[in-house]
Every structure is written in structure tokens, then in C-alpha cells.
Amino acid sequence: MTKVRFRQALAGLPAYVAGKGDAGKVVKLSSNELPFPPASTVIEAGERALATANRYPSAIGSALVEKLAARFGLDQNQVVVGPGSIQVLANALTAVAQAGNNVVYPWRSFEAYPILVGITGASSRQIPLNSQGGHDLNAIMGAVDEETAAVILCSPNNPTGPSLSAMQVREFLRALPQTVLAVLDEAYFEFDTSAGHVDGAALLADFPNLLVLRTFSKAYALAGLRCGYGLTSPQVAAAIRKVATPFGLSAVSEACALAALEAEEALRQQVAEVCEERERVLAVLRHDGWNIPEAGGNFIWFGGQVGAQIQEAALSQGVQTRGFPEGVRVTIGSRAENDQFLAAIREIKPR
């Protein structure tokens, strides 16, 4: 038995529960992944990078930073990349939060938030979602006080689906004290087809306390490679870089992310297919009488106790979903996978 003294903050940390399922053995609709493999050009780029893996990558992912900055019309010192947007968020929270602070975010939302906040020593202020599964922005703002280090908004919200409008976020940011870091997690941005939805990149010029998070894990089909990024002000980016592990992004991840940006037309097509599938599945379910919240991401949400029943029925037919105490989240997969899910829950009474 070791006598090592661990930090007190670790004692209360919840464990991250990853979506279960071996994609080869079950239909895996539990982790909001893209059902398509990466493009051949992306795989080739990864192989080329692997051939020189005896060399360190760039310390801060310079080539990807340069490409993203050009794409968003930002300075390179406004872009940070890392091994997943989770890590960029972890670094940002480390830069602003410590014991005595609080971080405010909606709940239920992405389950990494309480873990990352807890690691900093700060406390979580979880604000219940509204009845449609969306953010209660007034209540979130109401929870902000002198000790608030950061607020996290998630649009579209994982796991419930609704997104925030540009107007809602702009108004929120205007009212938020400039000393508070505002994180807008847009991991599912590319799937959001709702009218007027927020595009955090367009707000950066007006809000230097804003950090927009995006990822290559979802729409870019690179979840296994771990690559995400943040767009923000030069000062916030500099603070994130200070606490980031040097060489955090591997050369293979960086090369693949760059190649994925080049392959964007094909990816856009795949994302459009997923969105079409989402609308088809939603139409079937709503027609049957299911009450499903607005779905801006590549997943849908069944709230309430019926979630456990859905999860069980799906699993009995080889479909893995992601259950939570408040409901179940089902990733939109290929047409055949979605049909398998719909067939599996056919006997359950809609509500």
C-alpha cells in the first residue's frame, strides 16, 4: 500500500464513463463518432508522419495553428491546438481556476466538465437544463459571482442536443463580467443546421474573454487520434500555452488533421449524410409520438426513465447506446445502423 499523499481535490472526482462497445462486434451508437473511416489521403498523411516518428513534433503544432488561423481569419497567436479539445479545455481551466473559485456550466452536459473543474481545485456550479434540454442562460448568469473563474456553454449540448442562438450567446457575453473566461464548446458545430445557431468564431472580435472549442474528433472522423483546438484572444491563448504540456499534439495527429482539412469537401458530404439521417430518424420517432428535443449534433436524446428501457432494448439487438440517469443518448450512425436501432425500440410505447 503506497503512502503517497494525493491532492484533496482528487477525492471527489467523478470517473469518466466512456461510451461502451466494440465497433466491430456491436453497432456502436454510444460515443458520437462519425460512422465513416478517415479518407485515404488522411491515412496516407498519417503514415508519412509515422515514418519520421523518431523526431519530435512542433512544440505547439505550428503547421496546424497556421492553417486554422488562416481559415478563421485570426492571428496565429489566437489559436491553440492540443490532443483533443478536452485537453485544451483542461489547460484553459488550469490557467484560470483554483481552490476557492467556481466554474458555472449547464447540467446535464458533457461529462468531462466536472472532472476537469474538480482537478483544478475549483468547485462546480451545475445549472439544471430547461424543460427542452437547453441551457437556462438566466440561471447560469445568476450563478456567476466574484469567485467565478469560468463559465462553460455547450452548443449543441451533449447529450441533450439543443443549440444556442448567436443572439442568445452575444447577449450573455455582454452581461458576463470580462474577468470571467467564457468557454463555448462547439464540438458538434459542423452538424448544427438550425437557423441562427451560434458560431463562436464570429464573436471573438467582440469578446476577448471568449474561448471557442472545436474538434477533429466528430465531423472530421479523427476521434482516435486526439486533436482539438481553441480560438480565443492572444492573452487567453498565451495562458493556455503556458500550462500546456509541450509537444502535446503528436506529429501523426497534426498531419492527419491537416490532411482532413484538405479533404473537407468529402467530409462535408459525410456530415450532410449524417444530418439527413438525423432528420429522417427524428421524423420517424416524432411521427410515432416520441418527444425528442431539438437535435443539433450527431445524436438524439430520449429524456426520462424510458431511457433505461431504450438502452436495454437496443442492447438486446446488438446496438450500444449511452445511458445517463436522466435519459439515453443515441448517436446517429449509418442508415442501416439507425434502422437497427429503430427496429429495436419498436415495441416501446412512445412518450
Q: Which stretch binds ligand PLP (CB under 6 A): 22-30, 79-87, 191-199, 318-326?
A: 79-87
Q: How many residues sit close enough to ligand PLP to count as binding (CB under 6 A)?
A: 13
The smaller minimum CB distance to ligand PLP, of residues 160 and 233, is found at 160
The smaller minimum CB distance to ligand PLP, of residues 215 and 250, is found at 215
Q: Under the criterion CB under 6 A, does residue 215 sit at the interface with ligand PLP?
A: yes
Query: Please, what is the minimum distance in Å from the beta carbon of residue 287 to ligand PLP?
Result: 28
The smaller minimum CB distance to ligand PLP, of residues 223 and 261, is found at 223
User: Residue from 105, 110, 189, 301 that binds ligand PLP (CB under 6 A)?
Assistant: 110
| 184 closest CA partner among 215, 160, 142 | 215
Q: Which stretch binds ligand PLP (CB under 6 A): 84-92, 118-126, 171-179, 252-260?
A: 84-92
The smaller minimum CB distance to ligand PLP, of residues 32 and 101, is found at 32
| 232 closest CA partner among 37, 114, 27, 95 | 95
Q: Which stretch binds ligand PLP (CB under 6 A): 82-90, 246-254, 272-280, 334-342?
A: 82-90
User: Residue from 34, 65, 125, 185 that binds ligand PLP (CB under 6 A)?
Assistant: 185
Binding mask 226-245 for ligand PLP (x = CB under 6 A): --x-----------------
User: Residue from 84, 200, 296, 323 that binds ligand PLP (CB under 6 A)?
Assistant: 84
The distance from CA 187 to its chain's CA centroid, rounded to whole angstroms, is 3
The smaller minimum CB distance to ligand PLP, of residues 324 and 350, is found at 324
Query: Please, what is the minimum distance in Å from the beta carbon of residue 4 to ligand PLP?
Result: 28
The smaller minimum CB distance to ligand PLP, of residues 313 and 328, is found at 328
Angstrom distances, CA of residue 42 to CA of 47, 190, 222, 225, 261: 9, 19, 9, 11, 9
Q: The C-alpha cell of 151 is what?
A: 463559465
Query: Please, what is the minimum distance in Å from the beta carbon of residue 80 to ligand PLP?
Result: 13
Q: The C-alpha cell of 292 is what?
A: 425528442
- d(C-alpha 41, C-alpha 260), whole Å: 8
User: Residue from 42, 116, 137, 154 that binds ligand PLP (CB under 6 A)?
Assistant: 154
Instruction: List, as one string, the DSSP characters of 281-348.
Output: HHHHHHHHT-------SSEEEEESTHHHHHHHHHHHTTEE-EEETTEEEEE---HHHHHHHHHHTTTS
- d(C-alpha 326, C-alpha 12), whole Å: 21
Query: Please, what is the minimum distance in Å from the beta carbon of residue 154 to ligand PLP?
Result: 5
Q: Under the criterion CB under 6 A, does residue 187 sit at the interface with ligand PLP?
A: yes
Residue ranges in the chain assigned as alpha helix (H): 40-50, 62-72, 85-96, 112-120, 137-142, 166-175, 234-243, 251-262, 264-288, 306-316, 335-344
Q: Under the criterion CB under 6 A, does residue 314 sit at the interface with ligand PLP?
A: no
Question: DSSP state, 197?
Answer: B
Instruction: Determine contact, residues 184/155, Cβ cutoff 8 Å.
Output: yes
| 282 closest CA partner among 309, 304, 306, 302 | 302
Query: Please, what is the minimum distance in Å from the beta carbon of residue 36 to ligand PLP?
Result: 17
Instruction: Determine contact, residues 250/83, Cβ cutoff 8 Å.
Output: yes
The smaller minimum CB distance to ligand PLP, of residues 17 and 284, is found at 17
| 107 closest CA partner among 84, 82, 124, 85 | 124
Q: The C-alpha cell of 231 is what?
A: 480560438
Q: The C-alpha cell of 219 is what?
A: 465531423
Query: Please, what is the minimum distance in Å from the beta carbon of residue 197 to ligand PLP?
Result: 15
Binding mask 20-39 for ligand PLP (x = CB under 6 A): ------------x-------
Q: Which residues bind ligand PLP (CB under 6 A)?
A: 32, 84-86, 110, 154, 158, 185, 187, 215, 217, 223, 228
